[in-house]
């Protein structure tokens, strides 16, 4: 069995630990909200960049298609020229 002074010391120790835990919990909560805001900002930036990349990929694909069509036309023309001279 504990005497009164031991019980009081135990209570004080528990109260100080509880205060420390409360402070740590508050810090972690603040840090988590900051992290959450940062993650949302990063997600927004990634969505924006994905849109830009998608647009650039479409433009590149269109240029490749045009280049292929021009190449086919020129090679057909050169083939036709050689065919005429033969």
Q: Give the domain ranges of the chain.
A: 49-86
Give the Cα separation of 70 and 65 in Å (integer): 9
What pLDDT does residue 5 have? Answer: 87
pLDDT recorded at residue 33: 87
Spatial CA neighbour of 72 closest among 84, 64, 82: 64
- The pLDDT confidence band at residue 29, using thresholds 50, 70 and 90, is confident
Round to whole Å and give the CA distance between 66 and 77.
Answer: 16
pLDDT of residue 76: 93
pLDDT tens, residue by residue, 37-86: 999 999 999 999 999 999 999 999 999 999 999 999 999 999 998 888 76
pTM of the prediction?
0.53
Dist. CA 30–CA 17, nearest whole Å: 20
């Amino acid at each position: 069995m504990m005497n009164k002074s031991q019980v009081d010391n135990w209570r004080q120790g528990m109260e100080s630990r509880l205060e420390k835990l409360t402070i740590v919990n508050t810090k972690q909560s603040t840090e988590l909200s900051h992290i959450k805001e940062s993650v949302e900002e990063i997600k927004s930036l990634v969505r924006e960049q994905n849109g830009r990349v998608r647009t650039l990929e479409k433009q590149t694909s269109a240029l490749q298609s045009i280049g292929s069509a021009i190449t086919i036309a020129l090679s057909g023309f050169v083939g036709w020229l050689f065919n005429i001279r033969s």
